[in-house]
Amino acid sequence: MDNSYDIIIIGAGVTGCAIARELSKYEARILVVEKDEDVCTGTSKANSGIVHAGYDAKPGTLKAKMNIRGNELMTDLAKDLDIPFKRIGSLVVCIDEEQKQGIEDLYQRGLANGVQGLKILNRDEVKELEPNISDNVVCALFAPTAGVICPFRLNIALAECACQNGVEFRFNTEVTDINESENGWIISAGNEKLNSKAVINAAGCHADEMHNLISDNKYHITARRGDYILLDRALEGFVNHVIFPQPTKLGKGILVTPTVHGNTLIGPTAIDNDSKDEAPVTADGIAKVLEGQAKNVTGLPVKQVITGFSGLRAHEDSGEFILKEEINCFFDCVGIESPGLTACPAIGEYMADLVSSKLQLVIKQQWNGICHDVKKPFEMDEKERDQLIKEHPEYGRIICRCETITEGEIIDAIRRTLGARSLDGVKRRTRAGMGRCQGGFCSPKVMEILSRETGIPFNEITKNGGNSKILTGRTKNES
Amino acid sequence: MRADVVVIGGGPAGLAAAIGAAKEDKELNILILERDHELGGILNQCIHNGFGLHTFNEELTGPEYAARFENQLKDYNIDYLLDTMVLDIAQNKVTAVNSANGVFSVECGAIVLCMGCRERPRGALNIPGLRPAGVFTAGTAQRLVNIEGYMPGKEVVILGSGDIGLIMARRMTLEGAKVKAVCELMPYSGGLKRNIVQCLDDFDIPLLLSHTVIDIKGNERVTSVVIAEVDEHSKPKKGTEQEISCDTLLLSCGLLPENELSRAADVKINPATNGPVVNESFETSIPGVFACGNVLHVHDLVDYVSEESARAGKSAARYVKSGQKPDVNAIQIKAEKGVRYTVPSTVRINELEDDLIIRFRSTGVFKDSYIEVTIDGQQKIRRRKQIITPGEMEQVILKREDLNQDVNEITVAITEG
Amino acid sequence: METRELTCINCPMGCRITVKLDGDNILSVEGNTCKRGDTYARTEVTAPVRTVTTTIKVINGVQDRISCKTKSPVPKDKIFDVMEVINKVACEAPVKIGDILIENAADTGIPVLATKNVDKI
């Protein structure tokens, strides 16, 4: 294999993949290296799935600019890449008369950042929009441009689109060293050496380590854990907007929101985590989530929890997005914490500009920015669905009964560009196993399909790559 | 498509309901819709014995028990569709999908809900820790071992001492795994004594009562779990933590009736059972829609599922023949002190053919106590029981002649001696 | 003299029964609250037996494991011997419920029977 590239991007999260897609518009040999087995395995997989309006960040910061621009770009991007996205609007709720000024300040900050459509609603207006909000509500900042998105599809679609336009991906490839060479950089991944003219560091929680390999200007990232709980879709409609408490120094606080798929999500906490890779859910974390949301919303049936999870945000000490060339075509995207998901299309655009002008890249003649999601028979109209099942009977065989996911969808998720290789990979691409039974019924069937389609033996199928095998062997002492 | 009675689910409840309906009227056109590729439901993976003592007077394994019912389908001319998932129910109509027919509707005279139940997964238990491979519900593990023939792990800790958990402790041990402990949050086990002795004691597997799992470790595959003793509020006690190295955690922490279809159709649900509210004929709040088996309330023995479902099937057949009954004089059956719920919840005396069987579960463990049934405040039954536990279903039978049009209320309670 | 502690399996009471015995000679049974407990304890200390239910390999079947059981209970201390024999054997599809898969499991004199039908591929 020829290991020489024009650009190597480290990290296949939303940031890395958004940059990859933008750069795939240019004539260049591009590689994305990822330490895990799939795209969307770090910060990108476990977050609130919110497209923020952009009133939080301080005016003039990159965080503010990228948020606003990312939000603007999201409508078209979601359409082009077939990403579930709903602009449902957000409310920052004030429940204490004395904190009212905070809402006004946030409103002003939003105006300064250029957020469209902001409005301060009085108590009655808030109650009308959200009947289940606390009776103590004083007022709320309403931002109609906020929304909810499927973070998995966003990440996966960006990667699929980059890939269909020629970007290469290597998984299970952990960068262990980076050295400057005569004509660029040598990236070591274990024994393997990769050469590239430019390097883009989009390594999420590990971006400081990547950067510090090549620079004396040291960065420091803290993995800040956010615990969440996810409630059953049966509660759909309990809240209809993203509902934030008033922000504090620690962050935006614990929100409650419908997800784009109709679950109710509560979280996150903000707890500094020892590990950058292992994000445990803790009893304290769950307690904080429940306590945090209780102030804003009344009577949320938290017993209908279907799962708890936590994610790690890459918090750099400066608290700002660091998006720049460090030295000689080594580009950093460091400290991409919230609103990173919202900002990713803008970061992609911004970084692609920096890199393409530096390398003097030429725009391709042909580029395909459209990418379709897995076909979902139960989101189609009847006629279309009947036709699909007639032509492909596997779309009539339900595998995941909780989310009504068919064998056809799972096969598609495996066979498509950068297809799934693990249970989690299938889950993020199709939602099979994301429902109320959490894969209890469907995981053996999904394993069978994975094994049949990929040729990986049944007992080698993993949850998410590496040593995460589901099974340890056969019965009857057979190996 | 058209059928007189559509039975949703081909497990023990569905098979018995379909046969029950056919026995009532051989002319009826009965259709079972089953989502799996074979009939029998969960019985297929319950390869242990102990089924059928009440029904067939012998001890059968799950697959054998299911086969006894499946063999009768032909005799009664009962149709079934496999790999068919019901998407939606309404009065007189069931919508389903499979690969041969696509999405299709069945117009029908009556519906019997027999969807069974599912296990409470890790997520719903709020167990802290990482999310590595190696955490399974006991039922998923049972399927992998008994049907697929694969081992989900070698060193196992089990949380929850329900019967499936106990059965899996033995099953994993027989296949060469080491089961290190079974932890039970409550101070008593919800499993049968027989299973505690024959699945745990026989193999020296410790049962740790008032214990729970407070942490799961391992980034890729489980490497250990931390367990702790709990106080009377089920909160872990500081200082009692112990880490057990293992590669697998099995969960046997309760079953939930699968009533998503029922809820979507606005069938009234009893919050105590998570199953539909039914009358003496097992009819739900929607006329012509019946429910039985574990979708109605979680049973301890399959024999009771079969018996109850046969009666529900019979009711469905009678409904088809005679049409909707006016809901006159529905007597409430009230679960009083010590009784968590009763099935049925109401009785229409006119519709009661035989004696009234009331099934219920207790709210806790009661020793040397009495099951008391009153009709309009008057004691009708007072039966001494040496022990009553929430793990076992109890029943009382009220004589037909004790019930008449003037009755307003029946209560069931447990009183201490 | 030997003392053995048992849990009765007949009902949820789960009486702790203490059996005193001298060799095979039972001297006393205590702790049970009913007659069934006494009977259970006497069998359990002298000749405990268990039905073994497990799976066995199938060749050319639509599935490659089939469930099976010992036709009657085997001595408790033979459980793992029976398992070892079962684990080594494979049967050929088609198999019907009740088919004898092993004539005499681990010299117990007790056969192993299929408990499920498995068709040939």
Per-residue pLDDT of chain C (121 residues; tens, 9 = 90+): 889 888 888 877 788 899 999 988 999 999 998 898 999 999 999 999 999 999 999 999 999 999 999 999 999 999 999 999 999 999 999 999 999 999 999 999 999 999 999 999 8
Check pLDDT > 90 for residue B323.
no
Asked if A357 is an interface residue toward chain C (Cβ–Cβ < 8 A), one would say no
Per residue in B143-189, pLDDT (tens digit) is 999 999 999 999 999 999 999 999 999 999 999 999 999 999 999 98
Q: What are the tokens at A418? A: 């950068």
Cβ-defined contact of C57 to A477 (cutoff 8 Å):
no
What is residue B103's predicted lDDT score, i.e. its pLDDT? 96
Q: How confident is the model at residue A479 (pLDDT cuts 50, 70, 90)?
A: low
Residues whose CB is less than 8 angstroms from the CB of residue C65 and which lie 6 or more positions away in sequence, other chains included: A475, A476, B146, B147, B148, B149, C55, C56, C57, C58
pLDDT score, position B38? 96
For residues A152 and A433, the answer to whether their CB atoms sit within 8 Å is: no
Tally Cβ neighbours within 10 Å of residue A284: 12
On whether residue A301 sits in a domain, the answer given is yes
The number of residues making up chain A comes to 479
pLDDT in the model for residue B388: 92
Q: How far is CA A400 from CA A22, A222, A431, A455, B137, in A?
A: 35, 37, 8, 22, 16
Give a yes or no: residue A181 inside a domain. Answer: no
C67 to chain A, minimum CA–CA distance in Å? 12
What is the ipTM for the molecules in this complex?
Answer: 0.93
| Contact of B136 with B157, CB cutoff 8 Å | no
pLDDT confidence of B322, banded at 50, 70, 90?
A: confident
In the chain, the amino acid numbered C93 is A
Residue A306 lies inside a defined structural domain of this protein: yes
3-state class percentages of chain C: helix first, strand second, coil last, to nearest 5: 25, 40, 35
For the stretch B82-112, pLDDT in tens is 999 999 999 899 999 999 999 999 999 999 9
**pLDDT tens for each residue of A262-314:** 999 999 999 999 999 999 999 999 999 988 877 889 888 888 899 999 999 99
Where does the pLDDT of residue B328 fall: very low under 50, low under 70, confident under 90, or very high at 90 and above? low
**Cα–Cα distance for residue pair A127/A121, rounded to 1 Å:** 10
| Three-class DSSP category at B251 | strand
Q: For chain C, what is the domain count? A: 2
Question: Before B63, cis peptide (omega within 30)?
Answer: no
Does the beta carbon of A357 lie under 8 angstroms from any beta carbon of chain B?
no
Looking up tokens 């393997």 gives A192
Query: Residue C33's CB: how many other CB atoms inside 10 A?
Result: 14
> pLDDT, tens digit, for every residue of B239-284?
999 999 999 999 999 999 999 999 999 999 999 999 999 999 999 9
Cβ <8 Å between A475 and C55: yes
Asked if C64 and C103 sit in the same domain, the reply is yes
Report d(CA A183, CA C20) in Å as an integer. Answer: 88
> How large a percentage of chain C has pLDDT more than 70?
100
How confident is the model at residue C10, as a pLDDT?
81
Nearest to B267 by CA among B257, A236, B4: B257
Each residue of A41-67: pLDDT tens digit?
999 999 999 999 999 999 999 999 999
Residue with tokens 């922000």: A247
CATH superfamily of B121-253: FAD/NAD(P)-binding domain (3.50.50.60)
- Chain A hits for C56, CB-CB cut-off 8 Å, are 476
pLDDT at residue B337, rounded to an integer: 95
* Residue B167 DSSP one-character state: H
**Partner C contacted by B40 (CB < 8 A):** no
Q: Is residue A446 in a domain?
A: yes
- What whole-number distance in Å separates Cα of residue A376 and Cα of residue A392? 13
In a domain, A78, yes or no: no
pLDDT at B417: 72
Judging by DSSP bridges, how do beta strands B242-245 and B224-229 pair with one another?
Answer: antiparallel
Q: Model confidence over B331-354: pLDDT tens digits?
A: 999 999 999 999 999 999 888 888
d(CA A141, CA B272) in angstroms, rounded, equals 40
Sequence-distant (6+) residues with CB within 8 A of B259 are B113, B115, B267, B269, B274, B275, B276, B295
Shortest Cα distance, chain B CAs vs residue A299, angstroms: 16
d(CA A275, CA A272): 9
- Name the average pLDDT for chain A: 95
Q: Is the pLDDT of residue A190 over 90?
A: no
Same domain, A142 and A228: yes
The reported pLDDT for the residue numbered B327 is: 62
CATH of residue C109: 3.10.530.10
> Alpha-carbon distance B275 to B256, whole Å?
9
Alpha helices, DSSP H, located in A118-229: 123-129, 151-164, 207-214
Distance (Å, whole) CA B8 – CA B290? 10
**Residue B191 in contact with residue B170, Cβ under 8 Å?**
no
CATH placement of domain B1-117+255-325: 3.50.50.60
Amino acid in the structure at residue C81: D
Same-domain status, C23 and C67: no
pLDDT at residue A1 above 60? no
Residue B346 has a pLDDT of 94
**b/e string for A190-227 if b means 16 or more Cβ within 10 A?**
eeeebbbbbbbbbbbbbbbbbbebbeeeebebbbbbbb
Q: Report the C-alpha gap between A460 and A465 in whole angstroms.
A: 10
pLDDT in tens, A90-122: 999 999 999 999 999 999 999 999 999 999 999
A73 within a domain of the structure (yes/no)? no
Are residue C57 and residue C105 in the same domain, yes or no?
yes
What average pLDDT does this structure show over A11-33? 98
Q: How far is C87 from chain A (nearest CA, A)?
A: 5
| End-to-end alpha carbon distance in chain C | 59
Is the pLDDT at B325 greater than 80? The verdict is no
Q: Is B149 on the interface with C (CB under 8 A)?
A: yes
Q: What is the Cα–Cα distance from A10 to A174, expressed in whole angstroms? A: 9
Question: Which residues lie across from A230 on neighbouring strands?
Answer: A265, A307
Q: pLDDT tens for residues B359-379?
A: 999 999 999 999 999 999 999
Domain residue limits at C92: 53-114
> How far is residue A309's CA from residue B290's CA, in Å, rounded to a whole number?
38
Q: What is the pTM of this model?
A: 0.95
Strand ranges inside A247-301, DSSP E: 255-258, 264-267, 271-273
Is C120 contained in some domain? no
Contact (CB, 8 A) for B190 and B162: yes
* B64, B198, B388 ranked by CB distance to C115: nearest: B64
- Is any Cβ of chain B less than 8 angstroms from the Cβ of A320? no
Distance CA B9, CA B96 (A): 12
In a domain, A212, yes or no: no
Strand B356-362 with C25-30, pairing? unpaired
pLDDT at position A417, please?
96
Q: What whole-number distance in Å separates Cα of residue B365 and Cα of residue B284? A: 30
Domain count along chain A: 2
Q: Are residues A281 and A419 in the same domain?
A: no
Check residue B288 and report its DSSP letter.
Answer: T
- How much is the pLDDT for B83? 96
Out of A186-200, B319-333, C104-118, least confident range: B319-333
CA distance A75 to B255: 42
CATH number, position A385: 1.10.10.1100
Do A261 and A131 lie in a common domain?
yes
**Closest Cα of chain C to B243: distance in Å?**
29
Residues of chain C that touch chain A, judged by Cβ-Cβ distance less than 8 Å? 55-57, 65, 86-87
Does A406 share its domain with A265? no
Q: Quick one: tokens of A469?
A: 């095998």
Contact assessment for residue A398 and residue B35, using Cβ atoms and an 8 Å cutoff: yes
Task: Identify all chain B residues contacting A458, using CB atoms and an 8 Å cutoff.
Answer: 148, 150
Name residues whose C-beta falls within 8 Å of residue B373's C-beta, 6 or more positions apart in sequence: B358, B379, B380, B381, B382, B396, B398, B410, B411, B412, B413
Q: Does C50 touch chain B (CB under 8 A)?
A: yes
Which H helix or E strand runs over A28?
none
- Asked if A475 reaches chain C (Cβ–Cβ under 8 Å), the answer is yes
Domain identity same for A289 and A415: no
Residue percentage of chain B with pLDDT more than 90: 87
pLDDT tens column, A358-405: 999 999 999 999 999 999 999 999 999 999 999 999 999 999 999 999
Contact B197 C65 (CB under 8 A): no
Give CA separation, A73 vs A51, A152, A348, in Å.
11, 18, 11
The whole-angstrom separation of Cα A330 and Cα A359 is: 12
pLDDT for the residue numbered B141: 97
Residue C94 placed within a domain: yes
B-chain residues near C83 (CB < 8 A): 174
Position B357, amino acid = I
Chain B neighbours among A 216-255 (CB < 8 Å)?
Answer: 229-230, 234
Pair A100, A246 in one domain: yes
The domain spans of chain B are 1-117+255-325, 121-253, 329-417
CATH of the domain spanning B329-417: 2.60.40
> Rounded to the nearest 5 degrees, what angle is found at the Cα of B350, between the Cα atoms of B345 and B353?
85
C-beta atoms of B48 and C53 within 8 A: yes
Report the alpha-carbon distance of residue A286 to residue A279 in Å, rounded: 13
Choosing among C16, C45, C55, which should be mutated to test the B contact, i.e. which has the most B CBs within 10 A? C55
C69 DSSP assignment:
E
Q: A377 CA to chain C: closest CA distance, Å?
A: 30
Its domain, for residue A238, covers 87-148+222-314
A52 given a catalytic annotation: yes
Cα–Cα distance for residue pair B156/A472, rounded to 1 Å: 12
Which residues neighbour A289 within 8 Å (Cβ) at sequence distance 6 or greater? Answer: A227, A228, A229, A254, A266, A267, A268, A269
Mean pLDDT of the A338-343 span: 97
